[in-house]
Amino acid sequence: MEEKTAKSLNFIEEIIEEDLKNQVYDGRVHTRFPPEPNGYLHIGHAKSICLNFGIAKKYNGMTNLRFDDTNPVKEDVEYVDSIKEDIRWLGFDWEDRLFYASDYFNELYNYALILIRKGKAYVCDMTADEISETRGTLSRPGKESPYRNRPVEENLDLFTRMRNGEFPDGSSVLRAKIDMASPNMQMRDPVLYRILHTSHHRTGDQWCIYPMYDFAHGQSDSIERITHSICTLEFEVHRPLYDWLIREIGIYAPRQIEFARLNLSYTVMSKRKLLELVQEGKVTGWDDPRMPTICGLRRRGYTPEAIRNFADIIGVAKRDNVIDVSLLEFCIREDLNKRSNRVMAVINPLKVILDNYPEDLTEEMEAINNPEDESRGKRKVPFSRELYIEKEDFMEIPSQKYFRLSPGKEVRLRSAYIIKCESFVKDPSTGEITEIHCTYDPKTRSGMPESNRKVKGTLHWLSVKHAIKAEIRLYDRLFMKENPDEAVEGKDYKDFLNPDSLKVITGQIEPSILRANPGDKFQFERIGYFCVDKDSAGNNLIFNRTVTLKDSWVKIGKNQ
Ligand code: ATP
Ligand code: MG
């Protein structure tokens, strides 16, 4: 924690402190998070949320939530609601500052009229294809539209009629009149308004022309008197256009600062692709625990603290880069280590019979809930003659460094006794080991002096007759390829889906688990971190694996 205060400023904070020093915005810091409600938020958005709300908090400022809802075709209230829920869950509060770009449709329309009257915007009747064909390329200037020099009066008349619904979709657009030869393609008479006879989720049928994102975004920031408009790098080339619009309209100018968007290895982040995965049934929904969405991460068992810490650790960069997803996994492990109670669960059971243990006896063993946090206390775990251990914790012929159970060897059962393997039963037809016979040493009960006797292996275990069955969903990374977005001839990102990203098994858990509720998080000792799924209820217990105890991808990745 000390480290945090000592941390040097990032480049955005440097700019802000400079502005504060120079009283550029009267000492105000006012940011916004401006999602388009056309999908669920993902971990990249979380980065932007933490940045915008975090900076405002640091400088006693404010943050608006603004829905950039200028495209009625793709937007929906379902997304609006989920976005609000996710931001709150992450731990941020926009208080009474919830806005919609659609609230500004009147102002934006009036700004368009200002530009037309100044001769800075014109109605163009070219088709979308013609407009893109005449835009030119980076090395070749564009061609001016034949409608570019329409008189102001004609533009005013046509734009009003566009707004009144006299023309069909696509028949004309309003364009800024800037420079068709500009080296910046964004400045080549960009489209400001288009005709769309489509109902909007908020304004209904009030409008049949809608502002383009580029016309709405900067002006919305201006209307809300945002001081620092933080956005991702791809908007750097749009900045001259935003500045031009603000200047020509003659309104308050925020400062735009660009940072590199978060990219994660083994992950796709574009909303279009995430929607495709949902629509094509590659995942079970936006909140599938394999999705990089905030609701997916939540269902997977991620905590807001871990995500915020991740956002903090990665910082802000000025150049595009890819963050290793194992860093995100590290953050959740670290958080859950402190936060989650331990329980014993066996996911691949092998029966152990203690031949010298009384038939009807059940003992209550005391187990520590969280060795990292004494205040979490202890619980009782029942112990009896027949136990489960993991199959992989027994080897008939142990390899050199195998310190778990094998014939003639001793191991410690966590919080219980030291046991010794006397014999085992093998299915003659399959060769599978079906049962282990052991003896226990009553003097080694946990807590008694002889329990400290040196044995190398410690295993987790369950009492067969007390174990609770549960569905356990073993999630893994959704993609096998480090960069699934990378263009590979004849393939797309969906060809790199990991066929083993979900394995469903029936496991056994200690009975204390019956007190758990959906969302509760546990460390299954020696196995990993798990949380109770939202659909888990009554006898139908469902657990999602959040993350394994150790990074199992390190080696695999290196061999590729
Ligand atoms: P996508 O490309 O996934 O569709 P988007 O940028 O179109 O995302 P918006 O809803 O417009 O999605 O994003 C809202 C805010 O979140 C914007 O300010 C955007 O810059 C930011 N943002 C989106 N993706 C990322 C990311 N990967 N890293 C950081 N910030 C992001
Ligand atoms: Mg966007």
The ranges assigned to domains in the chain are: 24-259, 264-341+470-559, 345-460
The average pLDDT across 48-72 equals: 97
Q: Is residue 476 helix, strand or coil?
A: coil
Judge whether residue 560 has pLDDT over 70: no
Pocket lining: 484 vs ligand 1, CB cutoff 6 Å: no
Q: What is the pLDDT of residues 167-213, one digit of tens each?
A: 999 999 999 999 999 999 999 999 999 999 999 999 999 999 999 99
Closest-approaching ligand to the CA atom of 34: 1
Nearest to 364 by CA among 381, 348, 343: 381
- pLDDT number for residue 6: 58
Judge whether residue 476 has pLDDT over 90: yes
In CATH, the number for domain 345-460 is: 2.40.240.10
Closest-approaching ligand to the CA atom of 35: 1
In CATH, the number for domain 24-259 is: 3.40.50.620
Return mean pLDDT, the chain. Answer: 95
Pocket lining: 273 vs ligand 1, CB cutoff 6 Å: no
Nearest CA to ligand 1 atom 25: 44
Atom index in ligand 1 nearest the CA of residue 261 equals: 28
Q: Following DSSP, what letter does each residue of 117-174 receive, concatenated?
A: HTT-EEEE---HHHHHHTT--SSS-----TTTT--HHHHHHHHHHHHTT-S-TTS-EE
The average pLDDT across 439-465 equals: 95
Nearest CA to ligand 1 atom 15: 35
- pLDDT number for residue 5: 54
Cα–ligand 2 centroid distance for 459 (angstroms): 50
* Residue 257 CB partners (closer than 8 Å, separation 6+): 12, 15, 228, 229, 230, 231
Pocket lining: 37 vs ligand 1, CB cutoff 6 Å: no
Pocket lining: 270 vs ligand 1, CB cutoff 6 Å: yes
pTM, two decimals, is: 0.94
- pLDDT number for residue 533: 98
The average pLDDT across 9-18 equals: 96
The average pLDDT across 389-416 equals: 96
Q: Which of the residues are catalytic?
A: 36, 261, 271
Judge whether residue 558 has pLDDT over 50: no
Name beta bridge partners: 293. Answer: 42
Q: What is the pLDDT of residues 295-329, one digit of tens each?
A: 999 999 999 999 999 999 999 999 999 999 999 99
Pocket lining: 47 vs ligand 1, CB cutoff 6 Å: yes
Cα–ligand 2 centroid distance for 32 (angstroms): 13
The average pLDDT across 404-408 equals: 97
- pLDDT number for residue 62: 98
Judge whether residue 150 has pLDDT over 50: yes
Compute, in degrees rounded to 10, the torsion defined by CA atoms 274, 275, 280, 286.
Answer: 80
Q: Look up the CATH superfamily of 264-341+470-559.
A: Ribosomal Protein L25; Chain P (2.40.240.10)
pLDDT band at 552; cut points 50, 70, 90: confident
Same CATH fold assignment for domains 24-259 and 264-341+470-559: no
